[in-house]
Structure 1
Amino acid sequence: MPMAFEAGVSAGGPLQHGGNLAQARALFPEAPQPWIDLSTGINPHSYPYSPLPASAFSRLPEAEAAERLRQLAAEAYGAPTPDHVAAGPGTQILLPIVARLVRRGSLAAILSPTYAEHARAARMAGYAVREVEDVGQLAEADLAVVVNPNNPTGRTIPKAELLELAASMRRKGGLLVVDEAFHDVSVHSGVTDAVDAGGLLVLRSFGKFYGMAGVRLGFAISHPDVTARIKGELGPWSVSGPALHIASEALADGAWRAAMRERLHREAGRLDALLADRGISVAGGTSLFRYIRHPQAQTIFNVLGQKGVFIRRFGDRPEDLRIGLPAEDQWQRLEQALWEVTV
């Protein structure tokens, strides 16, 4: 099922995202330090990896270690074989490569509102981009993108519906991209086991669930013909030695994964209760972040920012907020900051 690449075009500068503490300091210069950064959906409890060997830094990554990582990723994410997996330095790097996979692509449709980098990557690849709210509208496109569960709303599209859409894309030589960056905490079935049929590519992020965004590691899971093209585009040594060491341990640790899912579920409930005490209801999200729709969202953002708690707001959706989970030693400060919110 080979696909051809097309040259991309510029689509403007980088977009604003969570995790920008320089922005927080500029907005709230008098806020108490240190900042509590809840503007991302990253697990505050990082995976407890073993000490890194010196060779992880002094030697080029071994091909055998990279193959072992793909094997572990296939097992952890439910891919048919390691050949169905391509690993890169973060899913962000993979987005423009994936967007260029479809031959003669002209229209990209993205289920929105969602992570804005998908639209930017599609524009870079030369697509006209249409952001839609109805899954049925995605079938009209050459490249269709669904973030599942969605960031920031938490909306989840059933597996059967996604597979039907993938079949439609396959029949016309298109591609459905399902970004499962937050699927590690989802109770719904993913679609990685269906990629061999074609017309489907799944993205998985390592750093969010394992609390190690700085490791910069992500996976594209698809038919082996497609992943071979992605690997060719990335070239050798696409994953660093330290990332290979850390992720190989983490992906093999099923017990930690199961326990962490339960812990995050409990902590999301605790956050919901804190917000409810202040009259702020949760409209969606996952157990790594909560999604809020409130007419006084900007007031909530500003009051928390003045108290040194940075959450995510969205310039084009002024009533929307996203708030991540605090670390264990941050709950009390968050609760105190929330008591300053009057809505």
Structure 2
Amino acid sequence: MPEHGGNLRDAKRLYGRDDWIDLSAGLNPAWYPAPALTDNAWHRLPEPDPALVDAACAYYGAPHMLAVAGTQAAIQALPRLRPPSRVVIAAPSYAEHAHHWALHGHAARQVPYAELADAVDGCEVMVVCNPNNPTGAAVPRAQLLDWADRLARRGGWLVVDEAFADTDGAHSVADRAGHAGLIVLRSVGKFFGLAGVRLGFVAARPDLLAALDELLGPWQVSGPAQQVGKAALLDQAWQRATRATLQRSGQRLHDLLAAHGIEGSGTALFQWWPEARPEQLHDHMARRGIWVRLFRTGPRGIRLGLPPDEAAWTRLATALNEWTRESK
């Protein structure tokens, strides 16, 4: 199983401490305040709520969507809906994509973002995180739509993972996901900071969504998750204020790293950079109670999410100061 952030139990087991600042997952640290649930939310079987899908379609601008138990559920299921295919996964990328396409008989290979345009005509499926996790690289919307059309003409798919697109949706293609061959994944875990509810959405043509729904089975999304997700997707005032706050915080993180000689890239929710000594930096931070995301391979680097409060910003700045001094 690929490594992931958010594994604080591992941090505690390896380093002790109870005062962890978790910057490893790239989630909004000021998560959406979940509303009170209806009295029977934990009792009833979770029938799919059409109002949740309507709210998602309005928020993401997609013509058709399916609610799933986090986009991870779709990432694991989509490879099972195709015969063996040649699959290109943009790299570096969220590791679960390559892992699951390779598990189900597909000829999967990873291709750097700069080489995707040359690879599109040599595959039946292309998978692109846009913006990319972990680097923040983005493929222009017009380029994605061209690739989707070319793949669709030969029965192929373009799968676009837009899990981090909420803070800047300029390149989103969710509104075109009613076209053949285009599949878009969206998540409430990142921007809304609600990773624990396990709720995501797939935008695609109705026939593909029906096949995916059949494969995933009944009661995919819990009743409480549906209620919380619907409230978050409908709360436009919170969304506007949060988007502005995250843009400021993301720039602050970028500037903090730059002040220590680190040129990061990413989104409003995280910064990533190739690091010559990633294991040592990861250990340095962990010994100070700061859990960051270590990328050991392809390329080796570090990703940081946003600190949750001023005390955490101060601890991060202090740890970076100490790392800079020790590295000289």
Task: Give the 3-state SS of the residue equivalent to 1:178 in structure 2.
Answer: strand
Q: CA deviation at 1:100?
A: 2.2
Q: How far apart in 1 are the matches of 2:2 and 2:275?
A: 24
Q: CA deviation at 1:76?
A: 0.4
Task: Give the 3-state SS of the residue equivalent to 2:166 in structure 1.
Answer: helix
Find out whether 1:118 has 2:97 as its counterpart.
Answer: yes
Residue type at the aligned position of 2:291: F
Deviations 1:20-41 (A, max 9, x none): 1232234434xx4311110111
1:71 counterpart residue number: 54
Find out whether 1:90 has 2:67 as its counterpart.
Answer: no
Find out whether 1:100 has 2:85 as its counterpart.
Answer: no
Find out whether 1:310 has 2:291 as its counterpart.
Answer: yes
Match of 1:57 among 36, 42, 62: 42
Q: How far apart in 1 are the matches of 2:144 and 2:283?
A: 39
Q: CA deviation at 1:120?
A: 1.1
2:233 counterpart residue number: 251
**Does the 8 Å CA contact 1:132/1:138 hold for their aligned counterparts?**
no
Q: 1:214 to 1:47 in 2, by over 3 A?
A: same
Q: CA deviation at 1:187?
A: 4.5
Paired residues for 1:122-133 under 5 Å: 122-133=101-112
Q: How far apart in 1 are the matches of 2:259 and 2:241?
A: 28
Deviations 1:114-160 (A, max 9, x none): 01100111012210111011112133112210000000010000111
Q: 1:318 to 1:305 in 2, by over 3 A?
A: farther
Deviations 1:46-92 (A, max 9, x none): 101211222110111244xx211111100000112xxx211111111
Q: 1:319 to 1:95 in 2, by over 3 A?
A: closer
Q: CA deviation at 1:252?
A: 0.5
1:216 counterpart residue number: 198
Residue type at the aligned position of 2:9: A
**Does the 8 Å CA contact 2:120/2:151 hold for their aligned counterparts?**
no
1:262 counterpart residue number: 244
CA RMSD of aligned residues (A): 1.5
Q: How far apart in 2 are the matches of 1:237 and 1:270?
A: 41
**Does the 8 Å CA contact 1:278/1:341 hold for their aligned counterparts?**
no
**Does the 8 Å CA contact 2:138/2:171 hold for their aligned counterparts?**
no
**Does the 8 Å CA contact 1:105/1:143 hold for their aligned counterparts?**
no
Paired residues for 1:1-343 under 5 Å: 14-29=1-16, 32-63=17-48, 66-80=49-63, 84-102=64-82, 104-133=83-112, 134-136=115-117, 137-282=119-264, 284-317=265-298, 319-328=300-309, 329-342=311-324, 343=327
1:5 counterpart residue number: none
Moved more, 175-184 or 296-305: 296-305
Q: 1:299 to 1:279 in 2, by over 3 A?
A: farther
Deviations 1:239-285 (A, max 9, x none): 11110110110000112111111101111122122222322221x11
**Does the 8 Å CA contact 1:73/1:85 hold for their aligned counterparts?**
yes
Q: How far apart in 1 are the matches of 2:53 and 2:45?
A: 17
Q: How far apart in 1 are the matches of 2:76 and 2:255?
A: 40
Q: CA deviation at 1:286?
A: 0.5
Q: How far apart in 2 are the matches of 1:318 and 1:198?
A: 33
Task: Give the 3-state SS of the residue equivalent to 1:22 in structure 2.
Answer: helix
Q: How far apart in 1 are the matches of 2:276 and 2:137?
A: 21
Structure 1 unpaired stretches of 5+: 1-13
Residue type at the aligned position of 1:225: D
Moved more, 238-247 or 131-140: 131-140
Q: How far apart in 2 are the matches of 1:105 and 1:167?
A: 21
Return the TM-score normalized by structure 1.
Answer: 0.89
Q: How far apart in 2 are the matches of 1:26 and 1:276?
A: 32
Q: How far apart in 2 are the matches of 1:150 and 1:27?
A: 29
1:4 counterpart residue number: none
Deviations 1:286-334 (A, max 9, x none): 1111011232433322211110101011121464110000112522222
Residue type at the aligned position of 2:35: S
Task: Give the 3-state SS of the residue equivalent to 2:2 in structure 1.
Answer: coil
Structure 2 unpaired stretches of 5+: none
